[in-house]
Amino acid sequence: MALNSLIEKTVQMQKQILMALFLQISVPLITLLIPLVYFFYSIIFNYYNQSLTNIAITCLSTHGFISTIVMIMVHRPYRRALFDMIRRTNKVEVREESLKTTVVVFVIN
């Protein structure tokens, strides 16, 4: 019985990671492939539309940002690490060791 529940849990985890990877793969397809198809289309058919070109350039330039956000959202360890970093309170401690030198020490809990 324990083996069957372990196998079911493993299969469920594999499905979750597969779905997360599919989401991560979809980001380059949307942010890179679609604008590139438009660029090739506009070159081949000599089609010029400034608005579509601007949208395509914007999609290309947001690839890294969107990929990072998707990675953080779909993978629980990255999400937890980010939230832990945000929740931390940084304390700044100022020590005067001499009249000429001031030392600033950052203490991270």
Q: Chain-wide mean pLDDT for the chain? A: 82
What is the pTM for the complete model shown?
A: 0.64
The secondary structure element, H or E, covering residue 74 is helix 63-74
Q: Are 59 and 36 in contact (CB under 8 A)?
A: no
Domain range enclosing 32: 2-78
What's the total number of domains in the chain? 1
Q: Tell me, yes or no, whether 19 lies in a domain.
A: yes
Cβ count near 28 (within 10 Å): 12
**pLDDT tens-place string over residues 87-105:** 875 555 555 555 555 555 5
Q: Are 109 and 85 in contact (CB under 8 A)?
A: no
User: Region 47-64: what's the mean pLDDT?
Assistant: 93
pLDDT at 101: 53
- Which residues have CB under 8 Å from 22's CB, separation 6+? none
Q: Tell me, yes or no, whether 98 lies in a domain.
A: no
Q: Tell me, yes or no, whether 7 lies in a domain.
A: yes
